Amino acid sequence: MSTDIRVRYAPSPTGHLHIGNARAALFNYLFARSHNGTFIIRVEDTDTKRNIEGGEESQLEYLKWLGIDWDESIDVGGDYGPYRQSERNDLYKKHYDDLLERGLAYKCYCTEEELEAEREGQIARSEMPRYSGKCRNLTDDERTALEAEGRKPSIRFAVPQNKTYTFNDIVKDDVSFESDGIGDFVIVKKDGIPTYNFAVAVDDHYMKISHVLRGDDHISNTPKQLMIYEAFGWDIPKFGHTTLIVNEDRKKLSKRDGAIIQFIEQYKDLGYQPDALFNFIALLGWSPKGEDELFSKEELIERFDADRLSKSPAVFDTKKLEWMNNQYMKNLDLDEVVALSTPHLEEAGKIPKDRTPEQDEWVRKLVGLYQEQMSYGAEIVALSELFFKDEIAYDEEASAVLAEEQVPEVMAELSRQLEALENFEAAEIKKAIKAVQKETGHKGKKLFMPIRVATTGQTHGPDLPSAIEVLGKEKVLARLSKLTD
């Protein structure tokens, strides 16, 4: 085997980029970059019935959004293409014809109904369902007769009997499978399209793949691929099967799990930072040395060590992701946060899409109030709700604050001070509040809490003078008037 590190991510265009697939791509990317190796994207599009329109483009688009780039693929070319399986049929045919000629594969004429009846019978007898091999030793006459009935054959690999297949896994150490538990498996379907386990082995060999990092759900495929490698006398790549991603209940992450957002494009649409998501996904089943959790892409490349891939399931902690994204959001330029937030305010009908420069400046100030606490762009809608209400419904805690004996005096003086302001800006509003303190003698919580509740309806929130500025003079005075009437 070549000493060059060559790894691949091989998506099927059957759907959009899922968090689990993104992790597989990211681990391979980090592994390649950390070893100055080659990262390849190969599109496995042979399952034509499940392919969706735009699936291929979507996979590549959101990998790029995450910050992943590649050295060889359908869009950048390379010396080992084509990089779509559907364009490699001549290569596959050459190899399955060779297996047929050497008796290592055979044509199977069983119908789906016959195979299902066989499976049901095995289950009823408490046997492990697997193909019985009934077509393995057909005579030429029997094959001719079956073809005369109009049956189209698939091609099955003849699994060696009484053999143990063992490989050393990067994550799981030594893994063994007994061949007798694996029935003769289909390598070419009745429509002439190769199956996954055959095509992937051929492709990995000819693309000189040195390491295969993929999810734990593929581990049962590995012995079948080892058989293909062995049949052709090929070198075997080093395998590493990463553990499952589970939810906080320690259950396997399912696409039907509504508690967790699972597709990368959804995170983009919600206004998450790609750098934060890259950072978070990298730590799903891998940990660097030390206690740090926030890393740039370059730092992750430098630190990545496949030997530190976890043997335990990776827990998808939504709160941790929100915290991590918040750390990135706080470090962004305010204009970038505004760009992430504005579409959500527009969609919610809070602001018009066509705005004046004055309206844009108001939006900028509004978003600036919440940059420190925002976890993602879409969160601005809920956070800023108070700025779009004409009426405030005071909850029990807020009502208790407004019932304090000093409140009427504070509100009356605040109204006088704010009414007199020519420039309704945070700096001037802060001076006005100081003047209220001086005139009434009330300070600290007795002063600031009633002002916050009266103007915003909340007992805590962003910088008070700035919040009052964004609310605007007319709205603030109207709210104070209702309390002093």
Q: What is the pLDDT of residues 389-439, one digit of tens each?
A: 888 888 999 999 999 999 999 999 999 999 999 999 999 999 999 999 999
Encoded tokens for 465: 């003078």
pLDDT over threshold 90, residue 484: no
Q: Which residues contact residue 69 at a Cβ distance below 8 angstroms, ignoring those fewer than 6 apart? A: 29, 39
31-36 mean pLDDT: 98
Q: Each residue of 272-304: pLDDT tens digit?
A: 999 999 999 999 999 999 889 999 999 999 999
Q: How far apart are CA 125 and CA 134, in angstroms?
A: 18
166-187 mean pLDDT: 96
DSSP 361-382: HHHHHHHHHHTTT-SSGGGHHH
Q: How far apart are CA 16 and CA 28, in angstroms?
A: 19
CB atoms within 10 A of CB 72: 20
Selection from 72, 61, 53, 91 nearest residue 4 by Cα: 72
Q: How far apart are CA 389 and CA 64, in angstroms?
A: 40
Selection from 429, 427, 18 nearest residue 256 by Cα: 18
Alpha carbon distances (Å) from 335 to 229, 365, 378, 465, 472: 54, 10, 15, 21, 22
264-271 mean pLDDT: 96
| CB 70 within 8 Å of CB 41 | yes
Query: 9 φ, ψ to 5°?
Result: -115, 130
96-111 mean pLDDT: 97
CB atoms within 10 A of CB 445: 10
Encoded tokens for 402: 């407004």
Lowest-confidence segment of 125-129, 186-190, 221-225 by average pLDDT? 125-129
CA 437 to chain centre: 51
Decide: helix, strand or coil at residue 408: helix
199-222 mean pLDDT: 97
Q: What is residue 181's DSSP assignment?
A: G
Catalytic residue among 251, 255, 330, 434: 255
Percent of the residues in the chain that have a pLDDT greater than 90, as a whole number: 89
Encoded tokens for 317: 């902690």
Q: How many CA atoms lie less than 13 Å away from 450 in the CB half-sphere?
A: 27
Q: How far apart are CA 296 and CA 68, in angstroms?
A: 13
Q: How far apart are CA 108 and CA 308, in angstroms?
A: 44
Query: Mean pLDDT score of the chain, rounded to an integer?
Result: 94
Q: How far apart are CA 370 and CA 387, in angstroms?
A: 12
* Residue 1 confidence class, pLDDT cut points 50, 70, 90: very low
Q: How many CA atoms lie less than 13 Å away from 148 in the CB half-sphere?
A: 6
Kindly report the pTM of this predicted structure: 0.92
Position 149 scores a pLDDT of: 93
Q: How far apart are CA 179 and CA 411, in angstroms?
A: 83
Decide: helix, strand or coil at residue 61: helix
Q: 434 an active-site residue? A: no
